[in-house]
Amino acid sequence: MDAQYEVVWPLGRRVADVGVPALPPRVADLNSAVVVELWDHVFRGDEVFPAVREEMRRRYPGIRFVDYNAFGNFHVADEEETLARLPEFLRAQKADAVIAGVGH
């Protein structure tokens, strides 16, 4: 007798609305965008961010970056208070987009 398995399709219908807000629209033109870098100082951002900046400037010559040092490390003991300052910081920088962290 062959084994039988119940299969769940990962793209099944949504059964609950978890209240996730809609994403904002994409930035229409990165040539005129202000991109803020945020780094938690955990993984090689000092190497990766400059490489990302260089490639994005090659593709979008008018792009402007706010270096990750401007906001500072957000992975700190007072993380909640630090992140509470983030919305005002982004407004002050006139940010269109953010590159956050870099990953492990």
Q: Could you tell me the two tokens for 69?
A: 């040092």
pLDDT band, very low/low/confident/very high, at 97 (cuts 50, 70, 90) = very high
36-53 mean pLDDT:
89
Over 60: is that where the pLDDT of 80 sits? yes
- Global confidence as pTM: 0.73
Residues 55-64 pLDDT 10s: 999 999 999 9
pLDDT band, very low/low/confident/very high, at 104 (cuts 50, 70, 90) = low
Q: From edge to edge, which strands make up the β-sheet containing 34-38?
A: 64-66, 34-38, 97-100
Over 60: is that where the pLDDT of 6 sits? yes
* Cα distance between residue 74 and residue 39, in whole Å: 7
